[in-house]
């Protein structure tokens, strides 16, 4: 279930959270870029922030991150670092409780591509 609000201010706040998460992830060594999910290519569907999906379950956030990584990255370690840094960042900017942070590696890129 996606986060749904009828309050425009709340929607802007959610987009701010998504933008902060995206920036945090892109700053981590080994992440080459944020990737879209399969729904990004559907006509009429425009995600708020590429590579970040927020949903909620029983009032707790579920964060799905879609990333591309550089070749030779230690993917399990990278995913752990992403989860840790995103959790820390969200705790700084949001009162929301986090249920889970899922990292989906969509591709591997060669440095310099």
CB atoms within 10 A of CB 78: 19
Cβ neighbours of residue 1 under 8 Å, at least 6 residues apart? 55, 56, 57
Query: What CATH number does domain 1-109 carry, 3.30.70.920, 3.30.70.1350, 3.40.50.1370, 3.30.1330.10?
Result: 3.30.70.1350
pLDDT bin (cut points 50, 70, 90) of residue 43 is low
Highest mean pLDDT among 5-14, 51-60, 80-89: 80-89
Nearest to 90 by CA among 6, 2, 1, 14: 14
pTM: 0.80
pLDDT in tens, 94-108: 888 999 999 999 999
């Amino acid at each position: 279930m996606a986060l749904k609000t009828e309050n425009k201010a709340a929607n802007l706040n959610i987009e701010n959270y998504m933008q902060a998460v995206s920036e945090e992830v892109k700053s981590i060594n080994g992440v080459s870029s944020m990737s879209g999910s399969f729904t990004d290519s559907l006509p009429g569907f425009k995600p708020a922030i590429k590579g970040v999906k927020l949903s909620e379950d029983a009032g707790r956030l579920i964060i799905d991150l879609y990333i591309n990584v550089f070749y030779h990255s230690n993917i399990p370690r990278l995913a752990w670092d992403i989860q840790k840094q995103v959790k820390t960042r969200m705790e700084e900017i949001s009162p929301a409780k986090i249920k889970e942070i899922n990292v989906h590696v969509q591709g591997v890129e060669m440095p310099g591509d």
